[in-house]
């Protein structure tokens, strides 16, 4: 009789493929201890067994010994396996990122199979135009990962718009959004407006589904430039249904928070300050609001959750900022403000 292997953590029968050397399929339904993490210790050290495990279940690449990082056969097995959880972070992509691959020819193959890997590669590869075309041709969304110079490349923008976003969730493709730089390049190429102007409620770039963003203020060639402010609104089925039943008096108070009075839309963000080439650029204040089902001000207007005052560079927080965080009181207090340093919006 074959001797039973016991888990070193919980002393139950161990079903880790690294220990049993058989199929991974028996593991989860036989394990007696749902808290057991012994597989993190029992990494697969045999290459053939590693490939077998990955072919059976893509996520088994997490259990492969780190000595196989960069191994082409392991990576190819991962890329060609089925992803059962499209909504989750793909461990194959993470494995490739950790592999620190330098072989450009192999990187082209990888990006042709799953271009989202580009977001995990060294930044120098995001400046490579050849790799950029391979990635964008596989998934248009990867234009968002590219160096700023390449995001302005008209040929790459055209390809991204043609391909769209190809990764899926529950069998449906995600909605595609150009990065802000690319978006304004397209607008600039297609506008007939010249010189300094002013707009009231111009619909502008927004990367969120179920949200719309509008601008009031100065423009150059029809694009936000100079002093102005934007407001972002969210809408979905529940919000629209709610707006049909709440009293007019409540809506009138809430709409005082925003410049657009759109039935079924709630304000989520506001920026007021300097703009350049369509983007927040220069000194300004950015406000994030609570959804009204959680908190509103005593007068019924939208309640700020966070505020940021400082210098923005191409739409992102950069440098030292004054930061307000609501601490639950009805009135804003000096103690609610702190100073924080940001780089590239974080």
pLDDT tens sequence across 68-93:
999 999 999 999 998 777 667 899 99
- The answer to whether residue 336 is domain-embedded is yes
Side-chain-side CA neighbours of 199 within 13 Å: the count stands at: 21
**Count of structural domains, the chain:** 1
- Check residue 279 and give its pLDDT: 98
pTM equals 0.87
Instruction: Report yes or no on 327 lying in a domain.
Output: yes
Torsion angle of C-alpha atoms 70, 72, 75, 77, degrees rounded to 10: -150
Residue 170, pLDDT score: 80
Place of tokens 């190809």: 166
Mean pLDDT of all residues in 1-26? 58
- What span, in angstroms and rounded, lies between the C-alpha atoms of 164 and 166? 6
**Domain range for residue 245?**
191-342
273: left (phi over 0), alpha (psi -120 to 50) or beta: left
In angstroms, the CA 276 to CA 184 distance is 11
**pLDDT for res 88:** 72
User: What does the pLDDT read at residue 15?
Assistant: 57
- Average pLDDT on 203-211 reads 96
Tens digits of residue pLDDT in 231-243 = 999 999 999 999 9
Give pLDDT, residue 154. Answer: 98
In a domain, 135, yes or no: no
Instruction: Give the pLDDT confidence score for residue 1 in this predicted structure.
Output: 44
Q: Is residue 296 part of a domain?
A: yes
What are 258-270's pLDDT values in tens digits?
A: 999 999 999 999 9
What percent of the chain is predicted at pLDDT more than 70?
87
User: Is residue 329 within 8 Å of 311, Cβ to Cβ?
Assistant: no
pLDDT 10s digits, 306-333: 999 999 999 999 999 999 999 988 889 9
pLDDT band at 39 (very low <50, low <70, confident <90, very high): low
Residue 154 lies in a domain: no
Q: Give dist(CA 42, CA 323) in Å, integer.
A: 46
Q: What is the pLDDT of residue 234?
A: 97
Query: Structure tokens of 230?
Result: 């934007």
Sequence length of the chain is 346
> For residue 87, is it within any domain?
no
Classify residue 116: in a domain, yes or no. no
The CA distances from residue 252 to 222, 246, 275, 283, 300, in Å, are 32, 11, 30, 32, 9
Provide mean pLDDT across the span 273-293.
98
Residue 82 belongs to a domain: no
128: pLDDT strictly greater than 70: yes
């Amino acid at each position: 009789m074959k001797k039973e292997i016991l888990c070193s953590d919980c002393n139950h029968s161990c079903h880790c493929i690294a220990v049993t050397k058989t199929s991974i399929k028996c593991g989860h339904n036989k394990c007696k201890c749902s808290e057991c993490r012994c597989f993190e210790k029992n990494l697969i050290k045999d290459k053939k067994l590693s490939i077998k495990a990955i072919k059976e279940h893509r996520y088994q690449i997490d259990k492969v010994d780190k000595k196989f990082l960069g191994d082409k056969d392991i990576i190819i097995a991962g890329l060609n396996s089925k992803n059962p959880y499209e909504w989750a972070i793909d461990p194959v992509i993470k494995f490739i990122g950790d592999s620190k691959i330098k072989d450009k020819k192999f990187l082209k193959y990888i990006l042709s199979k799953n271009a989202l890997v580009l977001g995990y590669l060294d930044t120098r590869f995001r400046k490579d135009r050849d790799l950029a075309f391979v990635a964008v041709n596989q998934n248009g969304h990867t234009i968002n990962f590219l160096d700023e110079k390449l995001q302005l490349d008209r040929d790459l923008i055209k390809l991204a718009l043609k391909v769209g976003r190809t990764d899926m969730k529950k069998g449906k493709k995600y909605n595609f959004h150009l990065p802000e730089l690319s978006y304004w390049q397209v607008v600039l190429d297609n506008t007939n407006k010249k010189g300094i102007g002013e707009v009231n409620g111009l619909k502008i770039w927004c990367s969120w589904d179920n949200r719309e963003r509008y601008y009031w203020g100065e423009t150059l060639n029809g694009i936000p430039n100079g002093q102005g402010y934007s407001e972002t609104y969210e809408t979905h089925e529940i919000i629209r249904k709610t707006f049909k039943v709440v009293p007019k008096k409540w809506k009138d108070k809430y709409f005082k928070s925003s410049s657009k009075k759109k039935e079924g839309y709630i304000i989520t963000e506001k920026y007021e300050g300097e703009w350049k080439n369509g983007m927040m650029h220069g000194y300004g204040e950015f406000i994030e609001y609570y959804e009204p089902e959680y908190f509103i001000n005593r007068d019924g207007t939208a309640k700020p959750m966070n505020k940021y005052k400082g210098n923005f560079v191409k739409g992102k927080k950069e440098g030292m900022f004054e930061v307000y965080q609501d601490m639950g009181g009805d009135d804003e207090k000096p103690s609610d403000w702190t100073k924080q340093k940001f780089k590239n919006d974080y």
